[in-house]
Amino acid sequence: MLPASRGSRPPQRPASRSCSASLSEIMDLSSDTKRKPRCVSKVVMLALLAAMCVVMLTQPPCHRRQPPTPTLFSIHERGITHVLVTGGAGYIGSHAALRLLKDSFRVTIVDNLSRGNIGAIKALQNLFPEPGRLQFIQADLGDPEAVNRIFAENAFDAVMHFAAVAYVGESTLEPLRYYHNITANTLLVLEAMATHNVKTLIYSSTCATYGEPEKMPITEETPQFPINPYGKAKKMAEDIILDFSKSKKSDMAVMILRYFNVIGSDPEGRLGEAPRPELREHGHISGACFDAALGIIPGLKVKGTDYETPDGTCVRDYIDVTDLVDAHVKALNKAQRGRVGIYNVGTGKGRSVKEFVDACKKATGVDIKVDYFPRRAGDYAEVYSDPAKINRELNWTAQRTDLHESLRVAWTWQKAHRSGYEPPQAMIL
């Protein structure tokens, strides 16, 4: 028999069971050590997120993008038409903005000031300081984000699109710039109009889209065969507008105005033409005449004396800027959804460059020195309009057809603004 003391011992576990239990404990311990780092990483991440939120909320407002504060320009107001005027700091655009403001439209001007004058904007702001009448946004229409933001933050009813580089000679030297600035930028404006449901477009085009027609005068049915990049870029923009207007998604009111050589200035002397000095070589003949009369340049350069015209110089249809903007406003008032109107805006009478120079000499009282040079690239001999369609459909007729009188009014402004819109510089002694 075994001793009683040995029989009272507790039974021992089998070795294999003991090993199994030890392995389980080890696995549990390993699992616990993995969970702890995960919990710690989550806590750290939450702390970082909380810290970022605190930093963002405690930043000054200028460092956070705020929603725009509602203004009179951001709402549609019954009885008031809000017009976006692109290129409204330029010669024609500023005169159009003046007319719209006088007629109680609400106006937003967008201009990058590459060709326009901040002085014209200041003159308009001084004339119409009341809230909700006029705002100016300096922006480039070639910037898609800026264009979309402008349309998103403003309640436009119509667009009057003037913004464009507009010198024939310069376009032959820098064609890509003209296609970007005119054609591509017009596409961006049109896309923004479609996105933001703006249904009325008054497009400021040019007779340069016709090129050099075989028959005179030019009608709206005259074939368009532009011969320089300026005219080609404008025609491309027209084509884009017309194609979109035919689509089912459009339902737009479109007016395209093709006008001729612009002269004159505001009869009350509030606005005028003030091209940048570096652009005078490419500028309008009226500006060159006035520069010669003021002694800014030694004389007037007439390019081309061998054209098939009565006196050998180019023949053009000179339209006063006041008449031109009147045509734009009448087009705006007559615009109808789902319809397209195309109109030539001119006097219906051609004047030669020599006739123009004689009228300028008379208006300024200065015997301007004239030098003659070979033809300028991209120019054409004779262009003038048949304004019958715009007379008939918009009841528009040019009122200021006296060349001498238009030049006299413009000369009055030029004499009072020898340094353009900027104050005269003091003479350094």
pLDDT at 276: 78
Mean pLDDT of 75-89: 97
Which residues make Cβ contacts (< 8 Å) with residue 190, sequence separation at least 6?
Answer: 201, 240, 241, 244
Q: Which residues pair with 202 in a beta bridge?
A: 160, 255
CATH for 120: 3.40.50.720
State which of 222-226, 282-286, 425-429 shows the largest mean pLDDT. 222-226
Is 50 within a domain?
no
Could you tell me what percent of the chain has a pLDDT over 70? 83
Residue 93: pLDDT band by 50, 70, 90 thresholds?
very high
- Decide if pLDDT at 111 tops 90: yes
Among 105, 429, 118, 97, residue whose Cα is nearest residue 266: 97
Q: Which domain holds residue 146?
A: 78-416
DSSP 119: H
| Dihedrals phi, psi of 307, to nearest 5 degrees | -75, 160
For the ranges 201-205, 233-237, 414-418, the lowest mean pLDDT is seen at 414-418
Cβ-in-10-Å burial (0-12, 13-18, 19+) of 332 comes to buried
Is 169 within a domain?
yes
pLDDT digits (tens, 9 = 90+) for 129-140: 999 999 999 999
pLDDT digits (tens, 9 = 90+) for 62-73: 444 566 678 999
pLDDT at 53: 56
Ordered alpha helix ranges (H), 257-402? 285-294, 321-334, 353-364, 388-394
Is 66 within a domain?
no
- By three-state DSSP, how is residue 261 classified? strand
Mean pLDDT of 32-51: 60
Active site residues: 230
Residue 181: pLDDT band by 50, 70, 90 thresholds?
very high
Among 368, 238, 376, 235, residue whose Cα is nearest residue 298: 368
Please say whether the dihedral angle defined by the alpha carbons of residues 274, 353, 259 and 180, taken in this order, is positive or negative.
negative
| Dihedrals phi, psi of 169, to nearest 5 degrees | -60, -45
Mean pLDDT of 306-317: 94
Whole-number Cα distances in Å, 259 to 46, 65, 234 = 66, 43, 12
Q: Report d(CA 398, CA 326) in Å as an integer.
A: 9
Residue 21: pLDDT band by 50, 70, 90 thresholds?
very low
pLDDT at 38: 59
Residue 353: pLDDT band by 50, 70, 90 thresholds?
very high
| pTM value > 0.85 | no
For 92, the token pair is 């024609």
For the chain, the C-alpha Rg in angstroms (whole number) is 35
Is 53 within a domain?
no
Q: Report d(CA 313, CA 303) in Å as an integer.
A: 8
Is 422 within a domain?
no
pLDDT at 424: 46
Q: Which residues pair with 79 in a beta bridge?
A: none
Q: State which amino acid sits at residue 119.
A: G
pLDDT at 262: 96
Whole-number Cα distances in Å, 425 to 31, 202, 278, 417, 422 = 83, 39, 18, 12, 8
Is 428 within a domain?
no
Neighbours of 120 (CB within 10 A): 29
CB-hemisphere CA count at 13 Å for 141? 29
pLDDT digits (tens, 9 = 90+) for 246-304: 998 889 999 999 999 999 999 999 999 988 777 777 778 898 999 999 998 899 989 89
Is 37 within a domain?
no
More confident residue, 39 or 241: 241
Find the distance separating the first CA and the last CA of the chain, reported in whole Å: 139
Whole-number Cα distances in Å, 115 to 152, 243, 412 = 26, 29, 22
Is 303 within a domain?
yes
- Decide if pLDDT at 7 tops 50: no
Residue 369: pLDDT band by 50, 70, 90 thresholds?
very high
Mean pLDDT of 220-240: 97
Total structural domains within the chain = 1
Residue 169: pLDDT band by 50, 70, 90 thresholds?
confident
- Decide if pLDDT at 29 tops 90: no
Whole-number Cα distances in Å, 8 to 3, 4, 13, 15, 18 = 9, 7, 15, 21, 22
Q: Report d(CA 31, CA 25) in Å as an integer.
A: 10
**Rounded to 5°, angle at Cα 323 from 73 and 125:** 35
